[in-house]
Structure 1
Amino acid sequence: MNKVNNKIIGLIYLPFLLLLIGIGLQKEVSVKLLVRDIFSVVELPSYTSIVSNLGILFWCSAFTVCWFSYLLFKNYLSQKKRGFLLYSSAISLFLLLDDFFLLHERFYSSHFHLPEKLLFCIYVIIFINYLFQFRSVIVKTQYSILLLAMFFFAISFSLDLIEERLFPPPQLGPDLFFLIEDGSKFLGIIGWCLYLTSVGLLSSTKIMSQVKTKNFSPKINQEEDVITSEKIRIF
């Protein structure tokens, strides 16, 4: 196994080192607010936002699994399936940052004056384009998990839009409303992560088992997206 180049290690550390230096030099915000854990800054129970925080971890897991699968198997995949993994990674990273920094709830509206309804429409368009553009790939995967995730996301988005007009809804109390809205979103994130994990596992199982047992160096047919010497499909 090749050792990691020291220059690569330096390039990885450099931006984060510069970030810490920048935090230390700036005078606008207390350094404590930027570097300490939120529970060390604000007197809140440690279980505060536990479901939301778990959701962020699942977003991160989904991105990591999908991106790693792309890097590991890109030479074995057709352009279409490479694009599928890249698009899936981009969606996961985008929604991870959105959730982590509350972009659609605060940043976009305060800095760009974008209404939340418009942002939801953009998100829906992104997912519709994803399903349409990669439908030929998705149908060869365990797409039922993906559809289940989309179902939960749809419930959460719908309730979020209702909340803007009428809160709390007369049919539901605040606690039940938040439980259904944020719970549906959480289940959707789990489904998304599970789906991308299943795609990565299916790819790795088929490829690595053949490489291990046959000990061959395959040539890739980009049109058929198979290991031509063994005729093994990735999905």
Structure 2
Amino acid sequence: MIKFPSKLFYISILPSTILYLTILYISNLHNIKLSLVLRDLAQTCGYPIGVGMISNIGILLWGAATSICLFTTFSQKINSDSSKLLLLGGLFSGLLCIDDFFLLHDRYIGPDFLNLTYLAISIFLLVRFRRLLKNIGLFNLVISILFLGLSIFFDGVIQQIFNQSYELTQLIEEGFKFLGITCWLNFWCKASSYALKSGAS
């Protein structure tokens, strides 16, 4: 007789069922049609496949960085310092992913508070784990933060000055952001690989 895997139920089935029903319940409270909640946004709006593609790929990259960091964090083969670094990297990446996906900085919380929060986390990350980051390759992380910082600078400052050239400044802003996300993922892949290799030796 096949035994039902209880871990699968408690780790995957139960939480996802609760989340699914909670989203439907909240949507119903706000009089949002369930079909609009369930269907893909592009399908609902009837937009071509390219609409929002850069943003969607960026969100996937944030999610990939989150998954890689958190998966490696709980590996028994890595040391405590690497585990703490990857845990912070995973949580930070997850926060950035959620922000991008739900547009927290544009619609709900506001860019100033979130940007200051991201800056504080970045400084803490660079100072607290400076020795470990040097061993991994600090340059990759700094380049990523630089690109993301330039994106924020263009969004908050340059677009205000050259508001008549909105499309051009947004093109540059989103380009810096996309490069920043790809470098971010590159660094955390490298950090995870380093943690596993150093733990195994």
Coarse TM-score class (shorter-chain normalised): 0.7 to 0.9
Aligned-partner Cα distance in 1 for 2:101–2:107 = 12
Aligned to 2:89: 88
Deviations 1:118-175 (A, max 9, x none): 3212211111111111112111112211111011011001111115634525xxx322
Q: How large is the RMSD of aligned CA atoms in angstroms?
A: 2.2
CA contact (8 A) 1:23 1:31 kept: no
Q: Which SS does the other structure have where 1:131 is aligned?
A: helix
The 1:81/1:41 distance shift into structure 2, 3 A limit, reads: same
The 1:200/1:81 distance shift into structure 2, 3 A limit, reads: closer
Deviations 1:90-143 (A, max 9, x none): 10111011111111111214xxxxxx2232122111111111111121111122
Percentage of pairs with the same residue: 27
CA deviation after TM superposition for structure 1 residue 63, in Å: 0.8
- The alignment status of 1:42 with 2:34, answered yes or no, reads no
- The alignment status of 1:108 with 2:103, answered yes or no, reads no
TM-score (norm. length: structure 1): 0.75
- The alignment status of 1:165 with 2:160, answered yes or no, reads yes
Aligned-partner Cα distance in 2 for 1:61–1:168 = 34
Aligned to 1:57: 60
Aligned to 2:5: 6
Match runs of 1:116-135 below 5 Å: 116-135=111-130
> What amino acid does structure 1 have at the position aligned with 2:186?
L
Aligned to 1:190: 182
Provide the aligned length of Structure 1 versus Structure 2: 195
Q: Which SS does the other structure have where 2:135 is aligned?
A: coil
Aligned-partner Cα distance in 2 for 1:102–1:180 = 19
Aligned to 1:225: none
5+ residue gaps, structure 2: none
Residue 78 (structure 2) aligned to one of 73, 76, 79: 76
> What amino acid does structure 1 have at the position aligned with 2:5?
N
TM-score (norm. length: structure 2): 0.87
> What amino acid does structure 2 have at the position aligned with 1:32?
S
Aligned to 1:149: 144
- The alignment status of 1:176 with 2:168, answered yes or no, reads yes
Aligned-partner Cα distance in 2 for 1:18–1:118 = 31
CA deviation after TM superposition for structure 1 residue 182, in Å: 0.9
The 1:68/1:5 distance shift into structure 2, 3 A limit, reads: farther
With 189-198 and 142-151 compared, the bigger mean Cα shift is at 142-151
Question: Which has the greater radius of gyration?
Answer: 1
Q: Which SS does the other structure have where 1:72 is aligned?
A: coil
